[in-house]
Amino acid sequence: MGHQEKIEESLEPKSHEEAELADSDGRLHTPVDDTASPPYELDYVPDGGKEAWTVVLGSSLALFASAGMINAYGAFQDYYKATLLPSSSSASISLIGSLQAFFLYFLGTLTGRIFDAYGTKYMIPAGSFLCVFGLMMVSLCEKDQAYQVVLSQGVLFGIGIALLFSPSIAVLGHWFRRRRALAIGLTTGSSAIGGVVFPIILERLIPRVGFGWAVRIMAFILLVCLIVACLTIRTRLPLSGHLSFRTAVDLNGFKDPQHTLATLGAFLLFYAFFIPYFYIQTYANFRGVSPHVANYLLPILNAMNVPSRVILGYIADRVGPVKVFVPAATICSILILGLWLPSRTEGAIVAFSALYGLFSGAYVSLLATYIATISPRQIYGARLGSVYMIVAVATLVGTPTGGALLKQTDERHFNNLIIFCGVMTLAGTAFLALAGISGSWKLLVRVGGRREARRSPSGTICE
């Protein structure tokens, strides 16, 4: 093996399992010159301090005000179906929330490239304006005018979320290295907190001031949060100043069976992921759950996301993401089919909301982490972009499909919805498990090949 080949081998990202094998067998370690280290590894990173944590504050507020609204859409869905858009089908209404998630993932592949070129200078203010303006327009929507809600909350607000989300996460890499997982966990957890706060605000204000002013008050809250975000989020490292979308997506990853299986698993999981978030409150109302409890199911579900993203991420750092992702998705499948499907009482529905929120939080936090472990470091962003494009389609059609199954709010149609959600989650879990098995097999073959290549005929190690 030549010196250049050794350097390239050492730069390949190692999964947790490969790292353990490497540690247990010193022959897997290849000495690499310091000059082979990428420049950003040699660069000083604050990993804390006033400026760094101020950026975390700004990013957290940006995600609280933007992505938090996606998690809160279930409260809007219930109100739209009952009051604002009674003539629209559940599928049409859920499409509004699905558009927000679609733009978040689909445009995320492009906003990442814009961030590399220009940082947060343009995207954070633009995203802030679109989010506040879009929500203000929602407050002016007329009864049974679904297109107005689609354009304002689905399209305008969705694009605003996309402009805020990726830069708010990516900028943390300028300020943190050793504590990056903690910084990202705190930031993404704020979106779950938004999913707790906004449904409560909406439910409390509508009876007092009406839907229009309730939404305007929420828009003013977003305005304050996003002004702080614009003032505190800033880059630290030099920017390229060159914008190119040619490398935003790398489709060559689909030649790798492990990458393909992981993407199929992600597609199926995210196809069903938001269904409980959108329909749990409607289901509780159908079962006769007290409004004082039903209106808090979505906040409960989102509240349990906060410890989930931190705790499961912490465990994944130590045992590997797929070893956490697969069990969490399996538990979600069991909860949907074993607890939500037969649930008839208030206690069972509350228990499902809390437990599903606890384990489904792994979807968002661990997908990107897992793709990082199976992708070459140099093209990780492009590989993740290809996965997010597929996930975007799943989030766009998933909840409308659920809405199409729920043509009427009766026992049979709710059972169809829940069974569909459970089967899709179970199938996604199976593909994700196959991806993990494929990765383990590929790792064993690679390690075995390296050991054989480094042994002489007499069994000694070749230099």
pLDDT tens for the 463 residues of the chain, in order: 444 443 334 434 444 444 443 333 333 333 333 333 444 444 577 888 899 999 999 999 999 999 899 888 988 988 998 899 999 988 899 999 999 999 998 998 788 778 878 888 899 999 999 999 999 999 999 999 999 999 999 999 999 999 998 889 888 888 887 777 678 778 888 888 999 999 999 999 999 999 999 999 999 999 999 999 999 999 888 887 777 777 777 788 888 899 999 999 999 999 999 999 999 999 999 999 998 899 899 999 989 988 887 788 778 878 888 899 999 999 999 999 999 999 999 999 999 999 999 999 888 778 887 887 888 866 766 788 888 899 999 999 999 999 999 888 899 999 999 999 999 999 999 999 999 888 666 655 565 555 555 665 555 544 4
Check: pTM over 0.85? Answer yes or no: no
Mind listing the domains of the chain with CATH numbers?
Answer: 44-448 (1.20.1250.20)
φ/ψ bin of 210: left (φ > 0), alpha (ψ from -120 to 50), beta (otherwise)? left
